[in-house]
């Protein structure tokens, strides 16, 4: 059971604050709902009786937030080469509601985007995963959305350069082949 003012996460939607708990009559059925205030002034209603079964949980604490940020600093985990399988695997991670899995999706898809781009579906998934990640870190870190977005981008860019820089070779400065004639003289 959650209370007004609790900061919670609604899987696939992100983190917010319980604004109120109200009884609503929807389609002739009276139920109690958490009214969750989400970023961007969006409000979501979650039936209190089903909150746990749909994966609603409290937001992470500061030390867990540091561990989530640490995931962004690591190398990507192996993803399936097949687009459909990779998409399903990433969707399962996001549906789990586990913020560590969401951070993994953000990092992996960000790396893939930098390497060779993403399909429209994966771009949408990356944006959704980032929104979910940022919304929870904003509440956990007591920071602004802009600060957290910048932190996430910085960590991903740094880890991408650390783990992928050797694979991305710039054009060689020497682009002309100078044959060696083997004589050893300058005549």
pLDDT digits (tens, 9 = 90+) for 118-161: 999 999 999 999 999 999 999 999 999 999 999 999 999 999 99
pLDDT for 56 equals 95
Residues 6+ apart with CB under 8 A from 93: 101, 102, 104, 105
Output 166-169 pairs: Cβ under 8 A, ≥24 positions apart. none
Strands of 29-38's sheet in order across:
42-47, 29-38, 14-26, 7-10, 57-58
Q: First CA to last CA across the chain, in angstroms?
A: 90
Nearest 5°: CA angle at 11, between 41 and 28?
75
96 DSSP 8-state letter: T
For 5-56, list the strands marked E by DSSP: 7-10, 14-26, 29-38, 42-47
Closest Cα to residue 17, out of 42, 32, 38?
38
Q: What does the pLDDT average to over 59-74? A: 96
Could you tell me the pTM of the whole model?
0.84
pLDDT for 186 equals 52
* Ordered domains of the chain (ranges, CATH): 7-58 (2.40.10.170), 62-164 (1.20.58.1290)
Give CA 154 to chain center in angstroms: 13
- Pick from 28-32, 83-87, 173-177, 179-183: least confident: 173-177
- pLDDT-derived band of residue 106, with 50, 70 and 90 as boundaries? very high
């Amino acid at each position: 059971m959650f209370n007004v003012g609790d900061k919670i996460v609604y899987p696939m939607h992100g983190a917010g604050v319980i604004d109120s708990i109200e009884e609503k009559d929807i389609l002739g059925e009276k139920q109690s709902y958490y009214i969750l205030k989400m970023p961007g002034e969006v409000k979501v209603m979650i039936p209190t009786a089903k909150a746990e079964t749909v994966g609603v949980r409290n937001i992470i604490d500061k030390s867990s937030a540091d561990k989530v940020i640490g995931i962004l600093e690591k190398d990507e985990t192996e993803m399936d080469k097949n687009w459909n399988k990779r998409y399903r695997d990433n969707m399962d991670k996001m549906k789990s509601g586990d913020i560590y899995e969401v951070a993994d999706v953000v990092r992996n898809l960000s790396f893939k985007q930098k390497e060779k781009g993403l399909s429209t579906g994966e771009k949408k998934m990356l944006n959704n995963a980032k929104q979910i990640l940022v919304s929870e870190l904003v509440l956990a870190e007591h920071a602004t959305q802009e600060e957290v977005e910048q932190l996430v981008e910085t960590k991903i860019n740094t880890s991408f350069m650390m783990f992928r820089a050797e694979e991305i070779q710039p054009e060689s400065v020497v682009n002309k082949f100078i044959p060696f004639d083997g004589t050893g003289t300058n005549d």
